[in-house]
Structures are given as C-alpha cells and as structure tokens.
Amino acid sequence: MFEEVFPTYPSPSITQIRKAAVPFVSVNAMAQNDLIDILPLAIEIDQATLIGDVHTALLGAVRQFGYSACLITNLTMMKRPRWHENIMANDWPDDWYNHYNAAGHYRYDPCVARSLRSAEPFTWREIEMRSLSPAAVRVMREAKDFGLREGICIPVHAPFSAPAVISLSGRKVEKSDLTRPTVTILARQALTSALRIMSLSAPPPTAALTQREKEILRWVAEGKTAWEISRILSLSEHTVLTHQRNAKNKLGAANNVHAVVTAFLRQEIQP
C-alpha cells in the first residue's frame, strides 16, 4: 500500500522458481518458457548488494506490466505514526507519501489490514470490491487522485521474521494471466534479498537477549508503550525502560522499532 528463512541465500534455480510459482499459478497459466524468461530478472534481484539496487531491479522488472511505484515494508507497528521507520524501499510519489502520513491513512489502509491477515497476494481492485469502511474507501480513492490507480500487494508471513508486504502500483497495469505469478515471484525474491542485506549490515549482538527483554520487545512489536507494558507485566515503567535500553544496546539498535526488527531478523523473537 519480509524468503525465505535464513541463513543462506543461493541464486534461484529454475526448479526453485517453478516451486515458488506453484501456490500462485496453475500449470496452464505459466509455462516453462515463461519461468525461464523471468529467471534472469530473479537472479539480478538476488545478486544485489544494496537495498537500493534490489528496489531498482524489482521496479525495472515489473515496469513491463505497468507498475511504476514500489513500497517494501515490514508491517510491525504499521498502524502507528512511526510505521515509516520500517520501510526498506520506497518510491511512492512524494506528494502521496506525505499526504498518506499527514492524513493518518496508515490506520485505515485496507491493504494493510488484509496483508496482516493473509499471505495471499491480492490486487487493489479485489480489495475495493469488498465492504469497506468510509475511511478505507477514502484511502483507496485518494491513492487514485495521486496517480496510483491500480496495484497489487504481496504479503509475506515467514517463520522467524516480522510480517511484511511488497506493494506495487501504477496508473494502468496489465491484467494477463502471467502478470500476478511473475510479479509475485519477483517481489518475494526482492524481499528475500532485502532481508539478507539487512542481516549482513547489522552489527553482531554483544550478548543474547534475556527472556524478559524478548518478552518486552514482543509487546513493543504489538504497539504497546512502556507504561502499557509495565501494566501488563506488573513491572515499574522504569524497569521496562531499562530492559528496552539494554535490548537496544545488545542489538545495536537506534530505537525500539529498530530493535524489534533486528530481533526478528536474528530470530531472537518470533511474531
């Protein structure tokens, strides 16, 4: 509107690409030649060494289908004002991104709600055909006003990782049988590569998290404040803040959100 699990990330073979397509497309929809055609694109995304290169490669691969904007984000804290701290790649139009935040659309975005519930890819049109709240309808309508008239979301719910979504959009996108499976495979590969790059760039932890630190980070991931966590765990707020500070120091994190994401990536906590 993050593939698979760590620790290794080999370049995908044609067999892996075919297996990745199975949940999303019938044999008739994607022939072997189609799979071979997208293999170089998937390998380019896989071999990127910077997240910016992952984003560029993905967008370059899907422009042929009419997609012109891409957002890759962790869904932790998605309905909170600081949701943008979880973004891995973003080239939404600046006007739309600023308006989306200023209007608080992250609280009502139906694509976010669906992505949190299900890992099945879906188009914006499919969301718009559902019964939506007035606030959700407004989000979708105003996206069109900023030129993002059609789109697809590819959620990812993987073990030992925070839920994430790749959102692709454009003014007019192709609707062939090949579009969704191709875009899904490439988007999931982009997320795998982004997570790999993030895990390699993160500093090693100085010590393992304690059980209490893990417990508190799990509540942070649920959007709870230090005071709320203190009530839930029957601790003082000062004690909760101390555990948060210790966890951030161990993980080399700049803030609580960064700590949660890093802990997910290192499999210290699970969704």
The 10s digit of each residue's pLDDT in 57-84 is 999 999 999 999 999 998 877 777 778 8
| Selected residue with higher pLDDT from 145 and 83 | 145
Question: Which pLDDT belongs to residue 258?
Answer: 81
Instruction: Please check whether residues 174 and 232 belong to one and the same domain.
Output: no
Say which range, 44-53, 58-67, 191-200, 215-224, has the weakest mean pLDDT. Answer: 191-200
Tally of structural domains, the chain: 2
Same domain, 109 and 24: yes
Domain end point (choices 201, 227, 253): 201
Shared domain check, 215 and 184: no
Residues 104 and 144 both lie in one domain: yes
Q: Are residues 174 and 245 in the same domain?
A: no
Neighbours of 204 (CB within 10 A): 7
Query: Is the residue at 44 inside a domain?
Result: yes
CATH code for the domain of 240: 1.10.10.10
- Please report, as a single letter, which amino acid is at residue 41: L
112 and 222 co-located in one domain: no
Query: Does 129 or 12 have the greater pLDDT score?
Result: 129
Q: Is residue 176 in a domain?
A: yes
Digit-coded pLDDT (tens) for 18-53 = 444 434 343 344 444 554 477 888 889 988 999 889
Question: Does 223 lie in the same domain as 197?
Answer: no
Among candidate residues 170, 201, 232, the one where a domain is terminated: 201
pLDDT at 256: 84
Question: pLDDT band at residue 236, thresholds of 50, 70 and 90?
Answer: very high
Mean pLDDT of 104-123: 93
The whole-model pTM stands at: 0.66
Least-confidence region, from 17-21, 195-199, 234-238: 17-21
Q: Which of these three, 155, 172, 201, is where a domain ends? A: 201
- Please check whether residues 52 and 149 belong to one and the same domain: yes
Q: What percent of the chain has pLDDT over 90?
A: 51
- 155 - beta bridge partners? 165
175 and 220 belong to one structural domain: no
* Nearest residue to 70 via CA among 191, 181, 176, 163: 191
In whole angstroms, what is the distance from residue 133 CA to residue 122 CA?
A: 19
**Whole domain around residue 260: which residue ranges?**
211-265
Say yes or no: 99 and 131 in one domain: yes
Question: Looking at the domain assignment, is residue 19 inside a domain?
Answer: yes
Does the residue 5 lie in any domain? no
Q: Is 171 part of any domain?
A: yes
Per-residue pLDDT band for 199 (boundaries 50, 70, 90) equals: confident
Give the C-alpha separation, 5 to 12, whole Å. 14
Report, as an integer, the average pLDDT of 137-141. 96
CATH number of the domain enclosing 58: 3.30.450.80
Q: What is the pLDDT of residue 203?
A: 61
Is residue 22 situated within a structural domain?
Answer: yes
pLDDT band for position 4 (cuts 50, 70, 90): very low
| Any domain includes 182 | yes
Q: Which residues have C-beta within 8 Å of that of residue 240, sequence separation ≥ 6?
A: 216, 226, 227, 229, 230, 233
Residues 52 and 120 in one domain: yes
Length of the chain: 271
Q: Are 154 and 192 a contacting pair, CB within 8 Å?
A: no
Per-residue pLDDT at 85: 79
The angle at the Cα of 81, spanning 130 to 164, to the nearest 5 degrees, equals: 55
To the nearest whole number, what is the mean pLDDT of the chain? 82
pLDDT of residue 37: 72
Q: What is the pLDDT of residue 197?
A: 86
Q: What are the start-end ranges of the E strands in 63-131?
A: 69-74, 87-90, 122-123
Task: Indicate whether 192 and 225 sit together in one domain.
Answer: no
Residue 113 has pLDDT above 50, yes or no: yes
Tell me if 1 is assigned to some domain: no
